[in-house]
Amino acid sequence: MYLSIASTTFQGLSTCHALQAKNTIRAQDLLAGEQINVPLRCACPTRTQIDNGENYLLSYIIAPNEFLSTIGEQFAVNISQIRAANELSETETNIYPFTTLLIPLRDPPTSTQATAPQPPPPPAAATIPVSPPSGGGSNRTWIYVLVGILGGGLILGTLILCLLFYKKKKKFEPAVSTQSFESIEKPSNKESNGEDESMDFLESISSIAQSLKVYTFGEIKFATDDFSPNRLIKGSVYRGTINGDFAAIKRMNGDVSKEINLLNKINHFNLVRLSGVAFNEGNWYLVYEYASNGSLHDWIVEKKIIKMNWDQRLQIAVDVAAGLNYLHNYTSPPYVHKDLNSSNVLLDAECRAKIANFGLARSAEGQEGQFALTRHIVGTKGYMAPEYLENGVVSPKLDVYAFGVLLFEILSGKEVSTFGANMQLSDILSEDESLTNLMDPTLEGKYPQELLHVVFGLIDSCVKKDASDRPSMDNVFKTLTRILSGKEVSTFGANMQLSDILSEDESSMNLMDPTLEGKYPQELVRVLFGLIDNCVKKDASDRPSIDNVLKTLSRISTSSVSGEWAINISENQKTIPS
């Protein structure tokens, strides 16, 4: 409704976004007779402009395929005058259709200047020849006949339209498997109404032009060497060069507004960044940051990238978990990616992972705070959770399941389809030998054997059939971060008790991170590990209060590490003597 008011009633002198910003009434709640505020772009000449003979400022709506030069010729105005009136620099050459431009004029515009060329009129409708009336009764008869024909035609046309609409509503899109940078795209309808397409384009441009770089189609062609086959990455994605930097340029059709709007709102290192858009003849061109090492799928299946070690694989897993954790817990409302797979994880020059392809992403919130439901089951085989396949439930646990599958592929170096669609690892987690056999042989056993149970236990929990049994993405991210740091608690045992190894300074030193290279006060090591041991006592009554812990740490941090620290921490000591 706001779009119609802006583009039709006010002829583009306002925008849909401007109307929404100035009114509290939602578009779907607008009723006839409602009063709304309509901000219009208009201006009066400044004193300098009047002194230069510019007595009028015309608010002009830019039409498609118009340029500053053609508009200047139309109004007999110098381009530099138009730039000055709109505060455009010499380097700004792009103007965008359906936006306003101030035209400085000496005299009021003529009707031919201010009016855009009209489209050719439609062909005249066929008429039924009517013989000249011979009398009053014959006149009336012809009127009845004409009304009957027109009425019958109208009823028949209405029935045909209803039948076509009913058939169209019954169509549905089948589930498909997505690959690489490709997204699920609606097929272009060649018979769609041209006016509707223009309105969709206008709405999209008005909402994104204020915050994203809008490129011309010519700039996109130049960046890709006119879509040269040498620039093709995969599918409809090309490698482009813009301002000396590489970019991934993806050609799409159909409705891309959801993906654009989501990527325009989020900002995270592990989510691929959208930097600009272009539109031409029904196709959208999305400009993304460039990932020089391709997709994770290329590495797993085609082994295009150099052999990765244990730490590199874990870093990729941590990156993906961080990106999903951001979507689930740090966006409002929370979002679910819905199509996480190895093709939709890209690797940059440092082999850091970035999640791509948000064409299926949607809010996880349904009505009254419940999880969302859908009848349109779309995704990649092997990655879709049981509750989604069976009941269409959309929740963050959908991504957790897919992440478990992805982590398994990262460690095994094989696609999950080779192990079966319904992967359950609980039966093979009891033997180290079985887990070792699952690992990618190119690792050559160069990984911490003691962590295999931890990592595969995490995978198994992620792919539980019951969504409520799966961990949150936040817990997955924290667990992987601890594993990557090499200090996963489970390597010391689930119930960590250090009292047996605190009797010797040498043992305590061996527990310290070797990257510290011994650069710490060794006389305080037992103090710190004694504090740790007290904090993890099995009996809660034996643990110190948080106040005493803070006091202890404060004294350690301010200590000069001298004789004042003659401290003997016994097994049950809870305070530091003053």
> Do the strands 213-214 and 274-280 form a parallel or antiparallel pair, or are they unpaired?
parallel
Residues 6+ apart with CB under 8 A from 227: 221, 238
Cis ω before 333 (30° cut-off from 0): yes
Distance CA 397, CA 388 (A): 10
Distance CA 320, CA 336 (A): 13
What's the alpha-carbon Rg for the chain, to the nearest Å?
34
Q: Using the 8-state DSSP alphabet, how is residue 37 labeled?
A: -
- Other beta carbons within 10 Å of 380: 23
> Do the strands 353-355 and 393-394 form a parallel or antiparallel pair, or are they unpaired?
unpaired
Report residue 478 as tokens: 């924290």
The separation between CA 454 and the C-alpha centre of its own chain, rounded to angstroms, equals 31
**3-state helix, strand and coil shares in percent for the chain, rounded to the nearest 5:** 45, 10, 45
Concerning whether 339 is annotated as a catalytic residue, the answer is yes
Distance CA 407, CA 320 (A): 9
Q: Using the 8-state DSSP alphabet, how is residue 524 labeled?
A: G
Q: How far is CA 256 from CA 247, 262, 285, 360, 461, in A?
A: 19, 10, 10, 10, 34
Task: Find the catalytic residue in 29, 255, 298, 339.
Answer: 339
Of 497, 501, 411, 518, the C-alpha closest to 454 is: 411
- Other beta carbons within 10 Å of 534: 23
Maximal C-alpha separation, the chain: 130
458-461, Cβ contacts within 8 angstroms, sequence gap of 24 or more:
458/404, 458/407, 459/404, 459/407, 459/408, 459/411, 459/425, 460/404, 460/424, 460/425, 460/426, 460/429, 461/404
Report residue 490 as tokens: 């489970």
Specify the residue for token string 């301002």. Answer: 243
Cβ 183 vs Cβ 259: under 8 Å = yes
As annotated, the active-site residues are 339
